[in-house]
Structure formats: C-alpha cells, structure tokens
Amino acid sequence: MPRDAVITYSIKELANDFMVTARTLRHYEEQGLLSPGRQGQNRIYTVKDRARLSWILRGKRVGFSLTEIGDMLDLYNLGDGRETQVAVTKKLCRDRVDALQRQMKDIRDTIEELEGFCEEVDSLVKKKNGEWIIEG
C-alpha cells in the first residue's frame, strides 16, 4: 500500500505491463533512455517513465535503433531555445517523418503483394479442382 497517492511501479510490474523483461528495462537505463528514481537501492518507475517506455517500444516497433530513439527523446529536452538548435531539431523531425512515410509506402506495397499472392494461391486451388484434381 503506497503511503502517498503517487502511482509508481516496481521494475517487474512495469516489465509485465509492457511484456518485456526487467533486464530490458535496466538495459534501456544503461543506454540513457530511462532514468527512474530510487527508493533505497530499488528502482521506482513513475507514470512519466511509463509514457517514455511506451514511446521507446513504439519506436522499436517501427524499426528505430535504441540510439536513434535516444536521440529523438533528447529532442524533447531542448529547454534552451537557441535558434540553431531549434532549426536542427525541426529538420531532424522532418527527416524522421519522411523516412516513416517511405516506410509506410513499403508496407503498403508489401501488403498488396501478399494479398495478391493469397488470391493467386486460391485460384490455383480452384483450377486444380476444376480439372478434378483432388490432391497434389
């Protein structure tokens, strides 16, 4: 029972919730992607850490490496509004978006190809049946 009303998670809780191992969370921390607080020696994860992890995992699913994800998370840590930094950040952002859009096209094409193949298989079977071929 939490003494305060602050929602936190143990490493295993968070790991289970996101279907990853505790080792994975420690690894992400080693890589600087997460930095949970400590309660004594143990890690305690907040809701913000949760959101961050969610972002990380989605990044992975779309094919980014951990270092790339780290870079993207760093973008959020601007703080200083130096004009050049802002410009750089926005360019990186747009580059990412472009890459993702190219990836979407690839996926669409692959889906089409797979569905086309699926139909091909169907018609192949029907043809066989049409010629009264019961089994190959």
Binding site for a copy of itself (CB under 8 A): 55, 58-59, 61-63, 72, 75-76, 78-83, 86, 89-90, 93-94, 96-97, 100-101, 103-104, 106-111, 113-115, 117-118, 121-122, 124-125, 128, 133, 135-136
Containing 84, the helix (H) or strand (E) segment is helix 83-130
Question: Site map for DNA, 39-78, x if CB under 7 A?
Answer: -xxxx----------------x----xxx-----------
Query: Which of a copy of itself, DNA, none binds 26 (CB below 5-8 Å, type-dependent)?
Result: DNA
Residue 80 CA to residue 86 CA, distance in Å, equals: 9
**19: Cα within 13 Å, side-chain hemisphere:** 2
Rounded CA-CA distance 28/83 in Å is 31
Question: Which of 26-34, 84-92, 99-107, 119-127 is the region at the interface with DNA (rule: CB under 7 A)?
Answer: 26-34
Q: How far is the CB of 52 from DNA (least distance, A)?
A: 14
Measured between alpha carbons, how far is 124 from 116 in angstroms, rounded to an integer?
12
Contact 8, 44 (CB under 8 A): yes
Distance CA 84, CA 90 (A): 10
In the complex, the residues that contact DNA under the rule CB under 7 A are 10-13, 20-24, 26-28, 31, 40-43, 60, 65-67
